């Protein structure tokens, strides 16, 4: 341990004696690490933002939605769910809790006085708040009696309020959806953007009102979110729902599903897998600069060995072993790379924060601790790997020949 500490001190002293050369040598590692951290921080920040958006859905929430294959779409066919599918989930499948259909209501625009906007109009039920985790911050949400009596009431999002220039407290105002007037009874809490699309540019109305506005179309554009009564029953429930919907749609054995049943956490897992792959690919490409930095360290260390040949001869004459010389030069190379890595981590994180702040509505950059540890460790490893040749050359010098070197 004493020999190692002495070698560390000697390596540090040598680097401090040539500050400018040490800085220029480590510049390649610094730039490479900063690039990796900046890219990873942006991707991880974006990934965390998406995960937080889906986290509100809960681990026992599933979603049934129509699926159209590429071959069907190329033929102009679009698969849709029907109201029978909603009734099937509500009344005929064991283990299903709350069922929340969400139907896109076609509209020529939303009007308020002289203003017109085109927010998304969604018809749903009172359980929407429980299943989707979206609550009103002013007024109230749709209740069951609104559906039963088909009241023309609406809950609006912040972006819709802004586009229509509604009052700051729009509860009690009337807006026009198509040819019908609706009373605003609530304002949804603000959710911001997701994948570049505003989550606040919407108007929610009672499900049966929307159904009537579509002319009781049998297969509107619709999806259904529902909960499992028992969280341990999510996967078995998913299979039961698949079997029931296949039978309802009269799909034959071997015929592909024209629908999807996905758990809320599956969206998060899929997205994390995509961002993980993207991080690995982009990080791998940017990491090439780390290898370039490692080659720079090897070149400078080879020059350093040549410059310090006489010093190495003196150390060997005083009793330094081959191992002592090898450890000292490896430590120098590792410290050079580690220093560049640590500075690069700080600069990369700062660059990530700066870039994220310059992009409108982009989530803040985040760097997990494992990324910091991996970047620092990999930087040091690059220094050690590329320092092996110079260190081996220094350790193999003959002491007599080294002392004669001028």
Question: Tens of pLDDT along the chain (406 residues)?
Answer: 555 566 666 667 766 766 777 777 777 778 888 888 888 888 778 777 766 666 555 567 888 998 888 877 787 788 888 888 888 998 888 888 888 899 888 877 899 988 999 898 999 999 888 777 778 999 999 999 998 899 999 999 999 999 999 998 999 999 999 888 999 999 998 887 765 677 788 999 999 898 888 776 667 788 898 888 877 778 888 889 999 999 989 888 888 888 988 876 666 666 667 777 777 776 676 667 777 777 777 777 777 766 667 776 777 776 777 777 777 777 777 777 788 888 888 898 888 888 888 877 677 888 778 778 877 887 777 777 777 777 677 677 666 666 665 5
C-alpha–C-alpha distance, residues 77 and 214, integer Å: 20
Per DSSP bridges, beta strands 222-228 and 96-104 are antiparallel
Phi-psi domain of 379 (left: phi exceeds 0; alpha: psi -120 through 50; beta: other): alpha
- DSSP code per residue over 340-351: HHHHHHHHHHHH
State the CB neighbour count (10 A cutoff) for residue 298: 20
CB-count exposure of residue 318 (10 Å: 0-12, 13-18, 19+):
exposed
Q: Enter the pTM of the model.
A: 0.59
- Are 202 and 121 within 8 A, CB to CB? yes
pLDDT value of position 287: 67
And the tokens for 246?
Answer: 């296949």
- Are 293 and 333 within 8 A, CB to CB? no
Q: What is the pLDDT of residues 101-140, one digit of tens each?
A: 998 888 778 999 889 998 989 999 998 887 777 789 999 9
C-alpha–C-alpha distance, residues 248 and 245, integer Å: 5
Give, for 295, the enclosing helix (H) or strand (E).
helix 288-307
pLDDT value of position 139: 92
**Residue of 319, 291, 248 whose CA lies nearest to 379:** 291
Q: What is the pLDDT of residues 321-331, one digit of tens each?
A: 777 777 777 77
The beta-strand segments (E) located in 229-322 are 259-263
């Amino acid at each position: 341990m004493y020999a190692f500490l002495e070698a560390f001190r000697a390596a540090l002293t040598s680097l401090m004696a040539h500050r400018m050369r040490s800085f220029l040598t480590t510049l390649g590692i610094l730039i490479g690490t900063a690039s990796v951290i900046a890219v990873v921080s942006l991707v991880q920040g974006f990934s965390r933002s998406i995960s937080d958006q889906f986290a509100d859905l809960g681990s026992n929430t599933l979603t049934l939605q129509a699926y159209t294959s590429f071959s069907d779409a190329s033929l102009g066919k679009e698969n849709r769910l029907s109201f029978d599918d909603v009734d099937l989930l509500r009344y005929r499948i064991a283990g299903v809790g709350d069922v929340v259909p969400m139907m896109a209501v076609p509209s020529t625009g939303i009007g308020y006085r002289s203003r017109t906007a085109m927010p998304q109009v969604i018809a749903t039920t009172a359980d929407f708040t429980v299943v989707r985790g979206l609550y009103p911050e002013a007024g109230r949400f749709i209740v069951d009696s609104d559906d039963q009596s088909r009241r023309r009431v609406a809950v609006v999002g912040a972006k819709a309020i802004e586009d229509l220039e509604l009052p700051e407290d729009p509860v009690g105002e009337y807006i026009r959806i198509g040819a019908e007037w609706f009373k605003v009874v609530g304002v949804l809490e603000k959710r911001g953007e997701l994948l570049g699309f505003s989550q606040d540019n919407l108007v929610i109305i009672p499900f049966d009102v929307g159904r009537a506005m579509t002319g009781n179309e049998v297969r509107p554009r619709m999806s259904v979110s529902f909960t499992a009564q028992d969280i341990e029953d999510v996967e078995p429930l998913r299979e039961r729902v698949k079997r029931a919907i296949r039978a309802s749609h009269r799909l034959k054995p071997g015929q592909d599903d024209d629908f999807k049943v996905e758990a809320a956490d599956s969206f998060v897992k899929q997205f994390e897998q995509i961002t993980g792959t993207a991080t690995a690919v982009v990080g791998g490409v940017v990491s090439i600069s780390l290898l370039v930095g490692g080659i720079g360290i090897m070149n400078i260390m080879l020059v350093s060995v040549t410059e310090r040949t006489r010093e190495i001869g003196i150390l060997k004459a005083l009793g330094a072993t081959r191992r002592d010389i090898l450890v000292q030069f490896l430590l120098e190379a590792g410290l050079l790379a580690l220093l560049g890595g640590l500075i690069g981590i700080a600069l990369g994180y700062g660059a990530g924060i700066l870039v994220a702040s310059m992009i409108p509505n982009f989530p803040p950059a985040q760097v997990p601790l494992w990324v910091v540890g991996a970047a620092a460790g990999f930087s040091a490893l690059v220094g050690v790997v590329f320092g092996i040749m110079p260190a081996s050359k220094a350790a193999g010098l003959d002491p007599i020949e080294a002392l004669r070197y001028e």
